[in-house]
Structure 1
């Protein structure tokens, strides 16, 4: 990989609940692996659930995974991260995660995931929602909400964000 291609690798965030269902973790693991196979740097919240599953999938595919942790202790990170950033910012770390990424894939839904989706849309970043939050019907066709696309599969999510970043 040349210096130029390294600088231009896409940074794709994967957001989802820390207490995820088995289906959500399966989807997130596949998303992480597909992103790594396509050369993307995976950015996540660095803890458990969807965050850990996407990191595991990306790591198994030889990818780079950056975890943006809410606390000040790097040892709280899941074991699949390449880089753990201990922010000490609590949920405000969602803003750091969104500002770091080029696009976001939301897998499943929790209040933290909704926060990340909203911040990404507000920042003008593409979002693919895989079994996740979507805007109310009256807002779906307006402005930033058009950046959010519902997808059905991990492959569709990855293709979608990589084509729109």
Structure 2
């Protein structure tokens, strides 16, 4: 998605660097276990689980690689660069598209509400106003179709 949608980033980005950021982020998330966004309390310890997973994974690497991978992970998590902001936008956009293509998907879970779904859209807007606008339209249509509770 980063490669295909880079032209919609609000700021110029280095696509290769952005891909590194999202891959390292996802690798840590795989080992930490993803947290369902619409299950109450599921994300409460997410940061701690991800920090522990990062420590474990990066600890397997030679020191120079561990330092490099940790820096990428920390850059993504902080959202401190244009690449990190766009990478985070892609991280939020992907599940929104999956929900859309799956007839509402997790938007239909008991904990999902319009307010929570729109809060997820804010993460897309932070890296791409254009893609944020599109996700806002998806949410509007998801509401109209009854996939999301107001």
The two structures share one fold, judged by TM-score above 0.5 = no
More helix, by proportion: 2
More strand, by proportion: 1
Structure number with larger C-alpha Rg:
2
Q: Which has the higher contact order (CA 8 A, sep 6+)?
A: 2
